[in-house]
């Protein structure tokens, strides 16, 4: 056999042996992953309040012998696995927070927890699958620690708080982690993240080159007019009818100014407040909404067009507007680096199976994982959590009281996080 062919054959044999090793280890640890997930599910905590969750994760990571840092972005936990050999730094991320949702399903380990959200007592539930994300990353941390001798470089395990958004008057999440230097010391080369999907078949991983989740930009428009008796509207400068025209006018930005054959975009008004009686035209009306875009040119266009439309319509009605854009937070596009996606696609196909790794269209939901991707190349993937015998249209939606997933889907997530790390290190070690 030619020397070069022999080397390739040996590499192929080594990769196969490693894949079989990961498969076996993932099978062995699966019961613990399920146990961890159920613990988190029964004890959810809201954004920036993940105190007990952080303690649980910290204790586990220290038990693996890892270097652990706590209190990152308030309640985040970061651990480093150092192979002792030169190579890249791979970051793996899971989010930690639950939602103010009252769980209504038949799970024996459903949440009965309450918490405080913006001054109100609320039920708390892991209604988006962050409990599974933490459990899968803990599983991968165990396997990678046990396979330390096969690593080349370092692994940084990032358990992030407040993905769902910090409470009113606070900051949090990935953006703050980045500002605090989570991608430094050691400097991260690449970051990988997963999200469980309740309407995707168990055993399937979904990916996309480029934008996979939208940028999100909340906004507020305050329309100021002149108050008058409802019986004499000609004495008013009516902010209510102006608001109606502004709402409809904003929709023409998407339908008439953006090339929707390239990417989707959304402008939604979710809140209208103004007036208190049927016979009084108020002096002002407040509109609050959200913008979702999948590429930067569209995002920039809407930033220019929204004030232009709102001000012109208001002026035509003799009213004035005040605009806050963005309102309180702003996430960039969750953007999968195309070159990295090409590089790691064989890992997805080998881990899930060629017919179980599927390229999908982008969604207009948002993820603050995008702040990590702004700094270093990264991939964000969806892992199936829907039972195979459940029709997709019957799958409970994320952020709802009925939300639940098939726990057998977590094994693939553990394997993906592990194999992405091993394969990236093997191909990128210096």
Known active-site residue 402: no
Size of the chain in residues: 430
The two most distant CA atoms of the chain are separated, in Å, by 95
Please provide the distance, in angstroms rounded to a whole number, between the alpha carbons at the two ends of the chain.
28
What DSSP line would sit under 147-201, residue for residue? Answer: TGGG--SEEEEEEES-TT-PPTT---SHHHHHHTTTTTTTTPSEEEEEEEEEEEE
Residue 171 CB contacts under 8 Å (≥ 6 apart), including other chains: none
**One of 331, 367, 380, 424 is an active-site residue; which one?**
331
Residue whose C-alpha is closest to residue 222's, from 328, 301, 327: 327
Rounded to whole angstroms, the Cα distance separating 272 from 310 reads 15
Rounded to whole angstroms, the Cα distance separating 352 from 347 reads 8
* DSSP assignment letter at 224: E
**One of 50, 164, 367, 407 is an active-site residue; which one?**
407
Known active-site residue 180: no
Catalytic residue numbers, as ranges: 331, 407
């Amino acid at each position: 056999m030619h020397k070069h062919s022999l080397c390739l054959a040996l590499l192929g044999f080594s990769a196969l042996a490693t894949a079989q090793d990961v498969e076996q280890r993932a099978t062995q640890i699966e019961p613990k992953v399920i146990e961890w997930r159920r613990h988190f599910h029964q004890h959810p905590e809201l954004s920036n309040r993940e105190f007990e969750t952080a303690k649980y994760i910290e204790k586990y990571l220290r038990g693996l012998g890892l270097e652990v840092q706590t209190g990152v972005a308030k309640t985040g936990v970061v651990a480093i696995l150092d192979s002792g050999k030169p190579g890249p730094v791979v970051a793996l991320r899971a989010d930690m927070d639950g939602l103010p949702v009252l769980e209504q399903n038949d799970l024996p380990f459903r949440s009965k927890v309450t918490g405080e959200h913006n001054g109100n007592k609320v039920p708390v539930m892991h209604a988006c699958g962050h409990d599974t994300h933490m459990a899968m990353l803990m599983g991968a941390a165990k396997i990678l620690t046990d396979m330390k001798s096969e690593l080349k470089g370092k692994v940084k395990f990032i358990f992030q708080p407040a993905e769902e958004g910090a409470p009113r008057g606070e900051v949090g999440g990935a953006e703050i982690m980045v500002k605090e230097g989570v991608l430094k010391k050691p400097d991260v080369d690449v970051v990988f993240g997963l999200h469980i999907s309740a309407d995707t078949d168990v055993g399937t991983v979904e990916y996309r080159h480029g934008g996979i989740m939208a940028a999100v930009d909340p906004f507020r428009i305050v329309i100021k007019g002149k108050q008058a008796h409802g019986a004499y509207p000609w004495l008013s400068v009516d902010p209510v009818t102006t608001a109606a025209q502004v709402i409809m006018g904003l929709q023409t930005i998407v339908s008439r100014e953006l090339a929707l054959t390239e990417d989707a975009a959304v402008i939604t008004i979710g809140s209208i407040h103004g007036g208190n009686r049927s016979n009084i035209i108020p002096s002002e009306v407040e509109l609050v909404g959200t913008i979702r875009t999948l590429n930067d040119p569209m995002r920039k266009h809407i930033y220019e067009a929204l004030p232009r439309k709102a001000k012109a319509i208001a002026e035509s009605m003799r009213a004035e507007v005040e605009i806050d854009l963005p309102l309180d937070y702003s996430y960039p596009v969750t953007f999968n680096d195309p070159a990295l996606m090409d590089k790691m696609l064989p890992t997805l196909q080998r881990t899930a199976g060629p017919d179980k790794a599927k390229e999908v269209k982008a969604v207009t939901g948002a993820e603050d994982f995008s702040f990590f991707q702004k700094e270093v190349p990264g991939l964000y993937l969806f892992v199936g959590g829907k039972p195979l015998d459940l029709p997709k249209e019957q799958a409970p939606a994320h952020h709802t009281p009925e939300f639940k997933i098939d726990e057998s889907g977590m094994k693939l997530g553990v394997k993906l996080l592990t194999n992405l790390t091993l394969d990236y290190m093997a191909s990128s070690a210096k």
